[in-house]
Chains A and B, each alone.
Chain A
């Protein structure tokens, strides 16, 4: 409601600047999923450093993604991924048939939509882990049936 009055009183770009922090805040608060994702990102970036501390040097993109799927996954989610596919052009599909976050949820396709919210954090976690290993990527989840999840990792050109 407050925003309506603020917009009415706006006259000129100088005033917009005055409320810039407020606008930013509004966008930040708008979406819980975005927020969870950013928390996940933070955690992922720190966690990957701990996990990769003693691993050999990871050179190629594929090596890094493989590392995420094996070592990182097992130390964070307790198991390795079930399937990793790639088109060798920067798109990876990671499949986990019993994803940790969803393991205690009722199985089947009844709660697929609700489960989506719970994947915002792990998505951020993966994005953060990849960022920690110098890969910029977009991570999106797909659930067909709880607790099986597919993560699509789309690597952004540097």
Chain B
């Protein structure tokens, strides 16, 4: 979602980054009015992201046929940073701060398009609003769709957005019947 896309907006399925960013901002503002507690807004954003993520996982696999089967968290992080995030957000991401035996890591988004034209008031952040939780939710949803249970939370640190991901378990029971591997 950069400037170069402007010319072929009409024929591609992409949308104007500014419109997207402002719309998201207006939506969060409206949710803050609705829920009163910023923590609830974060929860809702996470849920919305989750629902988007479960659908995006299918779309992602359809578009990227050569993504390998992930066997460890390093590989998950690699696919997220190299394929998924650039594909849907148009930005690069890096994974770092590996802890607790590779079970936890942080994805850093440079120039998060959601926060491009936005300043989140400090008192809302301290009250528990995580503005970019939608992205964290989407990652959680997408990984759950491919049977990885993770916990994800987003924090905005100035220009960057950090998404902390904690791997929980591989979901075995939720495999549809006849699709065991």
CB pair B16–A78 under 8 Å, yes or no, is yes
Residues of A within 8 A of B30 (CB): 35, 38-39
User: Within 8 Å of chain A (Cβ to Cβ): is B10?
Assistant: yes
The interface residues of chain A lying within 8 Å CB-to-CB of B18 are: 47, 50, 75-76
Residues 43-86 of chain B, each 1 if its beta carbon lies under 8 Å from chain A, else 0: 00000000000000000000000000000000000000000000
Cross-chain pair count, CB within 8 angstroms:
40
B22: chain A residues at CB < 8 Å are 42-43, 46-47
Residue pair B27, A47 in contact (C-beta under 8 Å): no
With a cutoff of 8 Å between Cβ atoms, the chain B residues found around residue A79 in the complex are 9-10
Which partner residue on chain A sits nearest B34 by CB separation? A29
Expressed in whole angstroms, the Cα–Cα distance for A75 and B22 within the complex equals: 14
**For chain A, what secondary structure do more than half of its interface residues adopt (helix, strand, loop), or is it mixed?**
helix
Give the shortest distance, in Å, between A62 (CB) and chain B (any CB): 25
Q: How many residues of A contact B (CB 8 A)?
A: 19
Cβ contacts B19-33/A at 8 Å (1 or 0 each) = 100110111011000
**Which residue of chain A is the closest to B12 with respect to CB atoms?**
A78
- Complex Cα distance A104/B15, Å? 13
Write out the residue numbers on chain B whose beta carbons fall within 8 Å of the beta carbon of A76.
16, 18-19
Contact partners of A121 in chain B: CB under 8 A: 23
Given the known interface contacts A43-B19, A46-B22, the answer about A78 and B27 at a Cβ–Cβ threshold of 8 Å is: no
In the complex, what distance in Å separates the CA atom of A35 from the CA atom of B13? 26
Bound complex: CA A126 to CA B10 (Å): 18
**Scoring B residues 141 to 164 as 1 if CB is less than 8 Å from chain A, else 0, what string do you get?**
000000000000000000000000
- Between A and B, 11 residue pairs with Cβ closer than 8 Å are A35-B30, A40-B26, A43-B19, A43-B22, A43-B26, A77-B9, A78-B6, A78-B9, A100-B15, A104-B13, A121-B23
5 new A-B contacts, CB < 8 A, other than A47-B22, A78-B15, A79-B9, are A40-B26, A42-B22, A43-B19, A43-B23, A47-B18
